[in-house]
Amino acid sequence: MSSLREYKRKRRFDVTSEPPPEKKASKSGQIFVVQKHRASQLHYDFRLEAQGVLKSWAVPKGPALDPKVKRLAMAVEDHPLDYALFEGVIPEGEYGGGTVMVWDFGTYKPEETRDVSAALRAGELKFTLQGKKLKGSWTLVRTRDRSWLLIKHRDRYASEKDITESAPLSAVTGRTLAEIAEEEGGNVERAATGDPPALLLRSKRAARRTARPRRGKEAQRTRLA
């Protein structure tokens, strides 16, 4: 539980629907998830399963498929494994308040090591992703303190296209950020600022619908590997 102490300290679980701090393992033991998070600023949370928790980094601009682009990834507190299923709204005023989307998920395989935690302590982890959107070989390398770089390796999945623009919807429910906020009681107008211009019409429709009577609607969930 000690690695989840900071996660627990920052949250009030009688207010937020985020999962409680519990260590557990998936069937594969190697899931990853990328969550798009419109909090005070839009960012992407990159998470890898290791030792019963999700090791986590905040990536302000999101993953890049171009090996020439090195994305800043700031290490944050470990999250419980069940967080990989969390898509919804963190109440305003709570830590990380805003709308969360499961932007990508799947499994990963470490390269050149069997001990992910040891590699992270040493400051470099190479791994292969098998996700809905992100695939192929990547590396995380620490530059100093909590600052890391997330870098795509050159392989057949490398590309100059902006994957955050070309594949902006939830990998679980197919929703935009604005639609998630609309259906789960969040700030739709704020969430819509995290949707790319190509989704402007859907975001505006979601914002208009919030003024109408709402019907209860449970978000679709999926089980991760």
| pTM strictly above 0.85 | yes
Residue-by-residue DSSP string for the chain: -GGGHHHHHT--TTT--SPP------SSS-EEEEEEEESSSEEEEEEEEETTEEEEEEETT---S-TT--EEEEEEEEEEGGGGG--EEEPTTSTT-EEEEEEEEEEEEEES-S-HHHHHHHTEEEEEEEESS-EEEEEEEEEETTEEEEEE-SSTT--SS-HHHHS-S-TTT---HHHHHHHTT--HHHHHTTS-GGGHHHHHHHHHHTTSPPPP-PPP-----
- pLDDT tens readout for residues 144-157: 999 999 999 999 99
- pLDDT tens readout for residues 48-107: 999 999 999 999 999 999 999 999 999 999 999 999 999 999 999 999 999 999 999 999
